[in-house]
Homo-oligomer: A and B are copies of this chain.
Amino acid sequence: MANIKDIAKQAGVSISTVSYALNGSPKVTAETSARILAIAKELQYTPNAAARNLKKQETKVIGVFLSDFNGAFYGELLQGMKEGLKQSGYDLVACSGKQSHRLLPQRMIDGAIVLDESFSSEELLKYADLGHKLVVLDRDLNHPNVNQVLLDNKAGARLAVEYLIELGHRKLYVVTGPKGSFDSRQRLQAVKQVLSRHPHIQYIEMEGDFTKASGALAGLQIAQHFSEPAAVFCLNDEMAIGMYEYLTTTNIRVGRDISLIGFDNIEISQYTQPRLATIDYSKQKWGWLSSEQLLKLIAGEYVEHERIYVTLIKGDSVGAALSSHFTEPF
Which residues of A in the span 42-61 have a Cβ within 8 Å of any Cβ on B?
Answer: 44, 46-54, 59, 61
Distance (whole angstroms) from the CB of A290 to the closest CB of chain B: 14
In the complex the two chains form, what is the Cα distance from A246 to B319 in whole Å? 24
Interface residues on A, range: 35 or more
How many copies of this chain are found per oligomer? 2
Within 8 Å of chain B (Cβ to Cβ): is A323? no
Interface segment among A28-36, A96-104, A159-167, A295-303: the answer is: A96-104
Are B78 and A108 in touch, CB under 8 angstroms?
Answer: no
Distance (whole angstroms) from the CB of A122 to the closest CB of chain B: 13
Question: Looking at chain A's contact residues, is the secondary structure mostly helix, strand, loop, or mixed?
Answer: mixed
Are A79 and B68 in touch, CB under 8 angstroms?
Answer: yes
In the complex the two chains form, what is the Cα distance from A94 to B107 in whole Å? 18
Within 8 Å of chain B (Cβ to Cβ): is A125? no
Contact of A97 among B82, B99, B248, B268 (CB under 8 A): B82
In the complex the two chains form, what is the Cα distance from A290 to B216 in whole Å? 34
Within 8 Å of chain B (Cβ to Cβ): is A20? no
Within 8 Å of chain B (Cβ to Cβ): is A105? yes
Are B91 and A92 in touch, CB under 8 angstroms?
Answer: no
Contact of A54 among B48, B78, B107 (CB under 8 A): B48
Distance (whole angstroms) from the CB of A240 to the closest CB of chain B: 14
What residues of chain B lie closer than 8 Å to A69, measured between beta carbons?
A: 69, 74-75, 78-79, 94
